[in-house]
């Protein structure tokens, strides 16, 4: 009987320790505060509203040169693909049951994602090496190749979030059982 009592008393203590959120004042608090300025080099994500877009700008023409020098070897001439992902075309291929061609132009809902992704991950073997101007430029070039912006348009922190991607309304938030 005494054994049983000990056991019953011990179980809740363990459960509490493992599941209850530790109140902040009891927390170890070992993190060091950092200023916005000192963390800026890591804060590279761009929201769909353009939050986080840096200063700078680029034109379609400038982007064509960046693409030829730094992207074409893997993504093909004018982004046609091969050996790696195709970046252009496919509009109209999403409905039905034939294989869909999902590209920046046919599938991506936000142009801001293009800036975010290219700056962090491309060119594959030298990621984070492009200047902000180069990223804006190559983004402008890819949008133009997809017929989304005219050749005269410049991409910057103001214009990029305003670009309406053809598939902006193409996504439905999943709900289980629906």
Partner 1 sequence: MKETSRSETERVAGNGLLHRRMFLTGSAAAIGAGTIVDQAGAAPLAVEPWMRIPGAPFNAYGQPSKYEEKVARTWASAPGTGGTGSARTPHHLLNGMITPSGLHFERSHSGVPDIDPDKHRLLIHGLVKRPLVFTLDDLGRYPMQSRIAFVECAGNSGALFAKQPANANVQAIHGLLSCSEWTGIKLSVLLEEAGIDPAAKWVLAEGADAAGMSRSFPIEKALDDAMVCLYQNGERVRPSNGYPLRLLLPGFEGNMNVKWLRRIKLTAGPTMTKDETSKYTILLPSGKALQFVFPLEGKSIITHPSPGLTVRGPGFYEISGLAWSGYGKIAKVEVSADGGKSWGLAALQEPVLSKAVTRFRMAWQWDGGPAVLQSRATDETGYVQPSRAQLVALRGDRGNYHNNMIQSWAVAASGEVKNVYA
Piece in contact with ligand HEC (CB under 6 A), picked from 37-45, 69-77, 146-154, 162-170: 69-77
Q: How far is the CB of 85 from partner 1 (least distance, A)?
A: 8
Q: How far is CA 27 from the centre of its chain?
A: 33
Site string for ligand HEC, 137-156 (x = CB under 6 A): -x------------------
DSSP 2-18: HHHHHHHHHHHHHHHHH
Applying CB under 6 A, does 74 fall inside the site for ligand HEC?
Answer: yes
Burial of 36 (0-12, 13-18, 19+ CB in 10 A): exposed
CA distances from 100 to 15, 91, 125, 169, 173 (A): 50, 9, 28, 17, 20
Residues binding partner 1: number (CB under 8 A): 54
Dihedral pair phi/psi, residue 156, rounded to 5°:
-155, -175
Q: How far is the CB of 173 from ligand HEC (least distance, A)?
A: 20
28-87 binders of partner 1 (CB under 8 A) = 28-36, 39, 42-48, 74, 83-84
The residue (of 95 and 150) whose beta carbon lies closer to partner 1 is 95
């Amino acid at each position: 009987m005494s054994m049983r009592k000990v056991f019953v008393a011990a179980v809740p203590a363990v459960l509490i320790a493992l599941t209850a959120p530790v109140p902040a004042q009891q927390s170890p608090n070992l993190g060091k505060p950092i200023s916005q300025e000192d963390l800026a080099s890591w804060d590279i994500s761009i929201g769909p509203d353009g939050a986080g877009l840096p200063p700078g700008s680029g034109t379609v023409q400038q982007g064509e040169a960046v693409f030829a020098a730094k992207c074409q070897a893997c993504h093909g001439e004018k982004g046609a693909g091969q050996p790696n992902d195709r970046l252009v075309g496919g509009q109209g291929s999403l409905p039905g049951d034939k294989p869909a061609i999902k590209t920046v132009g046919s599938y991506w809902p936000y142009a801001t994602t293009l800036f975010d992704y290219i700056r962090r991950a491309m060119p594959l073997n030298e990621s984070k090496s492009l200047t902000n101007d180069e990223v804006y430029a190559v983004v402008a070039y890819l949008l133009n190749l997809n017929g989304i912006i005219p050749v005269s348009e410049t991409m910057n922190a103001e214009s990029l979030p305003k670009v309406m991607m053809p598939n902006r309304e193409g996504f439905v938030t999943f709900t289980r059982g629906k």
